Chain A
Amino acid sequence: MNIMKFRPLFYLISLSLLTVSIFSIVKWGFVKGIDFVGGTVWELKVPNLKNSDPIQKIFDTEKIQLSSVTAEGDNKYLLKFANINQDQKVALDNSIKTIDKDFQELRFETLGPSLGKELLQKTIYAIILSSIALLLFIGSRFKDLTFGASAVLAMFHDSIILVGAFSLLGHFLGAEVDALFVTALLTTLSASVHDTVVTFDRIRELKRTSYNLSWVEMANQAVSEVIVRSINNSMTVIFMLLALVLLGGDTTRWFALALLIGVVCGTYSSTGVAIPLVLLWKRNKK
């Protein structure tokens, strides 16, 4: 199977995905969750309440700007607003008690903006640290730093596309970027490399056993040997994630979707990005 002759197509796919991602990130940015910008999420069940108007009125009286109210059915409401202090919380509690003294607080979360900056910083540090660690690890396992560098570049490719996808999803469907998204992003890093290493391993083996093959020939043979495995493996992970998307709640759904995009990207990029990059480096060598 001469998959490597499709390299121009892979370049085209990757470059357009990257372009769209970067365009969206620059143009639309993200819908940032409270983990990043601070703010409050309040989920409550008010049995006596038929619609959310009285809640709106309470917030008007307390002079707190409600940024969104979602009725989740079953008399549950999800409110989002700015970061509030303790006195304001007590006042809100008391006002809602006047509507229904038996209201139930399902979830209340408020945090200041300072934590968000830290989260971003820590994510970037984690990505840098992972990249260096993986670059060195793969480089040493394959006794060739070009392998490490290609795997890490493919990993960046996947991360940018995932981040871009969430910028688009945020712009059109309101998907939020939060601490869970960061976790999904970091998992994508490892899933992407996992796949790449399996393919590289075949090249390593071929280099040992078949001296007369060129790099392109080795790449072709390696890819055709592992492609069934790659697809099957991605399928099983995708099944598990689909189960999560279908059954989980709102927060899980985006989390699982992020992982899903990451896994699909990771499978594609081992063949479509990592190997062509190695070939690019080795093009003058036999």
Chain B
Amino acid sequence: MTSPNIAKTKRIFWTIIGLTFLTIIINLPNQLPINIHLANFNWNHTFYRPNLNFKLGSATITKNFDLKYGLDLAGGASLIYDIDTTKLNKSDLTSALDALKSNIERRVNLFGVSEANVQLSKQADKYRLVIELPGVTDINQAISLIGQTAQLTFKGVVDLPPEATASAKIEDYFKDTGLTGSNLVRAAAQISPNTSEPEVSLEFDNEGTKLFAKATKEFLNKKIAIFLDDQIVSAPVVQVEIIDGKAVINGSFDLQTAKTLAAQLNAGALPLPIKLIQQTQVGATLGKESIDKGIKAGIVGLVVVSIFMIGNYGYLGFISVIGLIIYGLITLSLYRLIPVTLTFPGIVGFILSIGMAVDSNILIFERMREEIRKGKAWNQAMELGFGRAWDSIKDANACTIITGLILFNPLNWPFLNTSGMVRGFAITLILGIAIGIFTGVFVTRNLLRVLARGKNNI
């Protein structure tokens, strides 16, 4: 490695330049208006950041490069519920939890939040429901909507005369039967003895039996729609008048969906009782402030570190600052590409990682000085410095990555942390270390080979 192939080095050098430009483009603001006024010359143009949008065979790949902000920066609400599973058999647990999740998801969707996120998490033997609602400002409304009792209703589907359909509203197509979830004694998933297909059986109480008999008489050979929270779950055709208060819903169920529906119907409310244990609400202004502060701190820190490096190592320091800028660009590009959801601790992790990214350069430069003191020529000292420092850079950073991985908990081990805050920090730290090694060793080494060839002093 002491006499690098010049042609190869140049190729690498231009690849690095190309990569840098690519990352600059990715990090451009979405719109960049440029106005040039020179005497009689006026030129206005707004550049738009290109977004990935291309076809690969039959698949279309689209990707926009917007930075994703977590709840603490973008504003929004997050709720954590304890799920009470004590009254449940182990065998029903999975389907009940799935039913709960889809129930909550439906309610959250009613709230009209884009990118809402509903997650089940397991802590030891306890189950939790984590709900994130970006942009939601009225947390009270969200809580009452999520915690409400689901309304089960049965409505007959009315055939409207053709002349009425044009002006008809959705409500006009349905006639309430008066039958609700409170009349339901139980629902169960079963395999039909006749067709061997999964179906859901319903059993009503006395009043429900009467109402259901009336409804099935009225809507014989027509459809009765079953609504849960004002959304149609199923609309079976009534084949016979039913007077014993027992009904089956069949359709294109598999066993799992039949079980889920049965659980939803049984619940009337939610399939499992839930209890709110944590709520967090961050206003959008506070988030904006945090972002601004983070950016400011990052810039101030970067400038001070740059001055320190150039003051201490002169030309070498200058190259390492260029490496550092490339580091920042690549890191931000990866945040946009993966995408990494940036949280406040994440920004802190990024700023901290800038400080750590120059570490490899300091290690290498100190090594170079040593070799030069021993009387080696500059070029030789440089190659030796990089070569010798590599062992310690490798091992030291591996240790940080090990801790980072334990914090990030990629396998979702229940005994380790799963909170978004800590993970946000860990992911930026891990990415920072990995990219820091790349720019600190590979990039600066090749920059130095090309730009400082023949130099004989530091």
What residues make up the interface of A, taking CB atoms closer than 8 Å to B? 43, 85-86, 89-90, 93, 104-112, 114-115, 118-119, 121-123, 125-126, 129-130, 133-134, 137-138, 141, 179-180, 182-183, 186-187, 189-191, 193-195, 197-198, 201-202, 204-205, 225-226, 228-229, 232-233, 235-244, 246-249, 251-252, 255-256, 259
Contact B416 A205 (CB under 8 A): no
A187 contacts which chain B residues (CB < 8 A)?
352, 403, 425, 429
Q: Which has the most chain A C-beta neighbours within 10 Å: B140, B399, B415, B416?
A: B399
Whether A237 contacts B416 in the complex (CB less than 8 A), given A86-B276, A183-B422, A197-B396, comes out as no
Contact A126 B293 (CB under 8 A): no
- Which residue of B is nearest A93, CB measured? B140
Contact A194 B282 (CB under 8 A): no
A252 contacts which chain B residues (CB < 8 A)?
293, 344, 348
A195 contacts which chain B residues (CB < 8 A)?
396
Contact A126 B355 (CB under 8 A): no
Contact A189 B403 (CB under 8 A): yes
Whether A239 contacts B403 in the complex (CB less than 8 A), given A129-B416, A182-B422, A225-B370, comes out as no
Contact B277 A240 (CB under 8 A): no
Of all A-B residue pairs in the complex, the 10 with the closest CB atoms, nearest first, are: A201-B392, A190-B403, A243-B301, A240-B355, A237-B355, A111-B278, A240-B301, A108-B281, A197-B396, A190-B400
Contact A249 B304 (CB under 8 A): no
- Min C-beta distance of A201 to chain B, whole Å: 4
Interface residues of B in 351-377 (CB under 8 A from A): 351-352, 354-356, 358-359, 362-363, 366, 370
Determine the distance from Cα of A251 to Cα of B305 in the docked complex, in whole angstroms: 24
- Min C-beta distance of B434 to chain A, whole Å: 14
- Which residue of A is nearest B123, CB measured? A118
9 A-B pairs (CB sep. < 8 Å): A111-B277, A129-B406, A193-B399, A201-B392, A205-B388, A239-B355, A244-B351, A247-B293, A247-B300
Determine the distance from Cα of A191 to Cα of B356 in the docked complex, in whole angstroms: 9
Binds A, one of B171-179, B283-291, B450-458: B283-291
- Min C-beta distance of A179 to chain B, whole Å: 6
B354 contacts which chain A residues (CB < 8 A)?
240
Whether A236 contacts B358 in the complex (CB less than 8 A), given A134-B399, A141-B395, comes out as yes
Q: Decide yes or no whether B397 CB sits under 8 A from chain A.
A: yes
- Min C-beta distance of A169 to chain B, whole Å: 18
Determine the distance from Cα of A226 to Cα of B359 in the docked complex, in whole angstroms: 12
Q: Decide yes or no whether B280 CB sits under 8 A from chain A.
A: yes
- Min C-beta distance of B287 to chain A, whole Å: 9
Contact B298 A243 (CB under 8 A): yes
**Interface of A (DSSP majority class):** helix
Partner of B297, one of A86, A89, A228, A243: A243
Whether A235 contacts B356 in the complex (CB less than 8 A), given A105-B281, A107-B282, A109-B281, comes out as no
Count of A-B residue pairs with CB < 8 Å:
203
Contact B345 A259 (CB under 8 A): no
Determine the distance from Cα of A247 to Cα of B304 in the docked complex, in whole angstroms: 14
Contact A236 B355 (CB under 8 A): yes
Q: Decide yes or no whether B279 CB sits under 8 A from chain A.
A: yes
Contact A236 B293 (CB under 8 A): no
Contact with A along B330-342 (1 / 0, CB 8 A): 0000000000000
B271 contacts which chain A residues (CB < 8 A)?
none
- Min C-beta distance of A282 to chain B, whole Å: 20
A229 contacts which chain B residues (CB < 8 A)?
362-363, 366
Contact A190 B286 (CB under 8 A): no
Q: Decide yes or no whether B417 CB sits under 8 A from chain A.
A: yes
B416 contacts which chain A residues (CB < 8 A)?
122, 125-126, 129
B300 contacts which chain A residues (CB < 8 A)?
243, 246-247
Contact B286 A107 (CB under 8 A): yes
Determine the distance from Cα of A90 to Cα of B395 in the docked complex, in whole angstroms: 54
Contact B140 A86 (CB under 8 A): yes
Q: Decide yes or no whether B93 CB sits under 8 A from chain A.
A: no
Determine the distance from Cα of A144 to Cα of B397 in the docked complex, in whole angstroms: 19
Partner of B348, one of A110, A226, A244: A244
B285 contacts which chain A residues (CB < 8 A)?
104, 106
